[in-house]
A and B are shown apart, each in its own frame.
Chain A
C-alpha cells in the first residue's frame, strides 16, 4: 500500500497546506474547482483540477459524500484528505472512502464516531480514569432530570449537545429556575445544528484556560503526544489566537496531561493526528472536554516548536507506516504564536466582512510563517469561512515571540475588507496577555474595546478625510491638480462615487 495521489476534499489555506507537503513527498494532488471560487489560489497548487463548476447540486461539493467519492474514483486518487471542517469528522464519510478502496487520511470511522458523540466520549473517558467535570452519566431526557443532577454536582452547570462542537447547543445554567428554558433552547439549537437534540450536563468550570494536546498515533498501536497548545484567546468559542507551548504548564503537569491524552486516544485505538481538549482551572486541575479527530487550524504552532510536519505524519500513518518517533524524541523548542487574520469587523462585533482583497502584502522573515489560501484579487466569499491568512510567529521564548508578533502585525497589508489585525495589535500590547494570566473569559471580561490605534492615528485619519473634502469641494476642477496627486487618486475617487448612496 502506497499513496500516490490524494484528492483534497477541502479548499483555502488547508488545501494549500496539504498540497505543499504532498509535493515534498512526491505525491500527486487533485483539487476541486467550485463555482463559488473558480479562481481560488489553492487550485494553482494542485497537480490536477477536477472542474465542478457546472454542478447544479444544492449541497456544496465539500459536503457531498457521494460526489467526493465519485471524484476520487474518477481521478484515480488512492487517498483523500478531508482537511478540517466540512466532512473531516464525519464517520460515515470515512467509512464510505474505505468501502470504495480510498484511503481516508485521518482516523478510523469508529474513532471518529465515538469521539464525535460526546456522551460516548465521556463514558470512555470515565472508564479510562481521565479527569472530567462531574456531570450526567449519559444524555438527559428533560429539565427535571437536569435539575436533579445539577443539585448533586452543584451550580453552575453547562448543558451541551451530545453531537455538538463549536459552541452551538451550549447553555450555562446558574440556578434551577433557568433550567427549563435553557434546556429547551440548547436542545433546539442542537437539533438544528447537528440534527440531534440530545444533550447532557456537566459542572461548569468558571474562567478556565483552554489547553489542548496534539497527539499522533499509528496503525500499529503506537501513540505519542506533541505537547500542548494554549487556545484560551477565544470569542464565543471561536479561537482567535493560539500558542505553543502554554505558560500555564510546567513539565510535570505537561507530562500528566499528555499521558492522559494518550490514554484517551488509546481507548479508541486512535491513529492519525488528533487533539485532546482540556479545561484547566485556576487551581491547575484539568478536565477532559473532547477530542477532535482531525488536523486543526492551529496545528502550525505545534509544528514550529516540535519541528514535525503533521500533514506528513498523517500521510505516512495512512500509508500504514510506523511512527518513527517515540515520546522521548519529542522536544519542545522555542515559542510560537498564531494569529487568525480573518475578514471580520472588530468594531462591529467581529461580524464577517466578505469582499475582494484589493491589495495584499504579507511579511516574510525567518521568524514568520504564513499559511494562506488567498492572494491579491481573491474574494472572501460569504459561503465559506472568513479566514484570510494565519500569521504564525516564533521566538526563542514567549517574550520574544510576542515582540516578533508585534512587528509582523505592522507589516501585514490588506485592503478591501476589514480584518482582525487591529484586534491582534491590541492583544500583543495588553498587559494581561503579556503576563499569560488570561482565561477563556478574557475577551468578554478584560477588554473594553477590541482594536488598537496609536496616539496620532485618529488625527491622521482626520487629515486624510479633510484632504478628500478639499479635493472634492474646494479645488477648481478645471485647473487640474496643483499637488500632483489628483491623477493618482482619480480611480479610487471614482470607485467611491460608485459606492456613494
Chain B
C-alpha cells in the first residue's frame, strides 16, 4: 500500500506542544489573517541556506535529526520539532490518552548532552529546584533540577548515555 497518497497534511509540533498544521503539497506561502505571504527556502554561496520572508533573510541550519524529530536553528535560535502525519498523530493521541496524568511533571533535558549521574531514585522525594540529573554539555556539567516538589515515579535517564534536547529524564508526581 502506498501510504504517501493518503497523507494530506502534516502536524509539526514544537517542544512546548505548539501545533502547526501544514497542508500537502506544502505551499510556499504562509497565511496570516487574510493574507498569504510567500516564504522561500533558498541557499547561496554567501549566506548558505536561508529562509526568505517579507524581504528579509533568516539563517537556517539543521543541528541534528532522528527519524521525524528535528533540532534546527532559525535566526540563531534552536527549535525542536517533531513532524507527525495524520496517522502517527492519531496513534500518539491514543497512546497519550492513557499516559498523561494531571499532577505530574517531567524533567527534560534542556540541551543535548551526556548523562553523567542520576541523583535520585524512583520513589525519592524531591523538592522544587533540587538537582535530579547531572548532564554534561559543551564540557560543562549542568545540574538539571526538578521543576516541582513531589515524588520521583520514573527515571528514564541512564548514566553514560546521550540524550537529545527535550528528552524526558524523569517523571515527578506533584505533592
Q: Please tell me if the beta carbons of B49 and A489 are within 8 angstroms of each other in the complex.
A: yes
Is B142 engaged at the interface, CB distance under 8 Å to the other chain? yes
Nearest CB to that of A416 among chain B residues?
A: B61
Stretch at the interface among A210-218, A429-437, A463-471: A463-471
Alpha-carbon distance A8/B50, docked complex (angstroms): 39
A496 at the interface (CB under 8 A from B): yes
Q: Are B20 and A459 in contact (CB under 8 A)?
A: yes
| CB-defined contacts of A500 to chain B, threshold 8 Å | 64-66
Q: In the complex the two chains form, is A470's CB within 8 Å of B26's CB?
A: yes
Evaluate contact between A457 and B64: CB separation under 8 angstroms: no
B residues near A396, Cβ cutoff 8 Å: none
Query: Does B48 sit within 8 A of A, measured CB to CB?
Result: yes
How far is the CB of A293 from the nearest CB of chain B, in Å?
30
Residues of the A chain whose Cβ atoms lie less than 8 Å from the Cβ of B63: 499
A residues 425-464 with Cβ under 8 Å of B?
A: 451, 453, 456-464
User: Which residues of A are found within 8 Å of B4, using beta-carbon distances?
Assistant: 474
* Pick from A348, A413, A418: contact of B73, CB under 8 Å: A418
Q: Given that A419-B76, A458-B18, A464-B74 are contacting pairs, would A469 and B10 also be in contact in the complex, using a CB cutoff of 8 Å?
A: yes
Return the contact of A499 from the options B59, B64, B138 (Cβ within 8 A): B64
Near B by CB (< 8 A), chain A positions 317-347 give: 345, 347
A347 and B111 form a contact (CB under 8 A) = yes
Q: How far is the CA of A278 from the CA of B136 in the complex (A)?
A: 36
Q: Is B53 interfacial (CB 8 A cutoff)? A: yes
A501 with B64: CB separation less than 8 A:
yes
CB contacts (< 8 Å) of A489 on chain B: these are 41, 43, 49
The yes or no answer to B162 lying at the interface (CB within 8 A) is yes
B49 touches A347 (CB 8 A): no
The yes or no answer to A353 lying at the interface (CB within 8 A) is: yes
Q: How many residues of B contact A (CB 8 A)?
A: 55
Instruction: Report yes or no: B83 in contact with A469, Cβ–Cβ below 8 A.
Output: yes
B78 at interface, CB cutoff 8 A: yes
Verify A470–B10 contact, CB threshold 8 A: yes
B95 CB within 8 Å of chain A: no
Provide the A128-145 mask, 1 if CB < 8 A to any CB of B, else 0. 000000000000000000
How long is the Cα–Cα vector from A500 to B162 in the complex, in angstroms? Answer: 13
A358 at the interface (CB under 8 A from B): yes
Cα separation A345 to B51 with both chains bound (whole Å): 22
**A351 CB–B CB distance under 8 Å:** yes
**Contact across chains for B48 and A415 when beta carbons are under 8 A apart:** yes
Report A411 CB to chain B, min CB distance, Å.
Answer: 10
Q: How far is the CA of A407 from the CA of B37 in the complex (A)?
A: 23
Residue on B with the closest CB to A464? B60
Kindly state the separation between the CA atoms of A358 and B59 in the bound complex, as whole angstroms.
Answer: 12
Q: Indicate whether B35 reaches chain A with its CB closer than 8 angstroms.
A: no
Contact between A358 and B48, CB atoms less than 8 A apart: yes
For the complex formed, measure the closest distance between the CB of A93 and the CB atoms of chain B, giving whole angstroms. Answer: 28
The answer to whether B140 has its CB under 8 Å from any CB of chain A is yes
- What are the residues of chain A within 8 A of B70 when measuring CB–CB? 465, 468-469
Could you tell me if B111 and A456 are in contact, using CB atoms closer than 8 angstroms? Answer: no
Chain B CB within 8 A of A361 CB: yes
CB neighbours (8 Å) of A85 from chain B are none
Judge whether B92 is part of the interface by a CB distance below 8 angstroms: no
Q: Does B151 reach chain A (CB closer than 8 Å)?
A: no
Q: Which residues on the A side are within 8 Å of B18 (C-beta)?
A: 458
B56: chain A residues within 8 A (beta carbon): 410
Complex: how many Å from CA A296 to CA B10?
A: 52
Find out whether the CB atom of A351 lies under 8 angstroms from the CB atom of B137.
Answer: yes
Given contacts A422-B77, A460-B58, contact A474 B111 (CB under 8 A): no
The closest CB in chain A to the CB of B9 belongs to A466
B74 touches A460 (CB 8 A): yes
Whether a CB of chain B sits under 8 angstroms from the CB of A382 is: yes
**Which A residues are CB-close (under 8 A) to B110?**
347-349
**Which residues, 140 to 175 on B, are CB-close (under 8 Å) to A?**
140, 142, 162
Complex: A275 Cα to B83 Cα, angstroms: 54
Smallest CB separation, B12 vs chain A (Å): 4
Does residue A421 face the partner (Cβ distance < 8 Å to B)? yes
Closest approach, in angstroms, between the C-beta of B21 and any C-beta of chain A? 9
B 94-113 binary contact with A (CB < 8 Å = 1; else 0) = 00000000000000001100
- Within B14-42, the residues touching A (CB, 8 Å) are 14, 18, 20, 22, 24-26, 28, 30, 32, 39, 41-42
Question: How far apart are the CA atoms of A56 and B60 in the complex, in Å?
Answer: 40
- Measured in the bound complex, the distance between the Cα atoms of B75 and A422 in whole Å is 8
A496 to B18, CA, bound (A): 25
- Complex A-B: 19 CB contacts under 8 Å: A345-B78, A359-B48, A382-B139, A413-B57, A418-B76, A457-B75, A460-B39, A463-B30, A463-B39, A464-B41, A465-B12, A466-B10, A466-B83, A470-B10, A470-B25, A474-B7, A493-B62, A496-B64, A499-B64
List the 5 closest A-B pairs by CB distance, nearest first: A461-B74, A348-B111, A462-B20, A469-B83, A351-B138
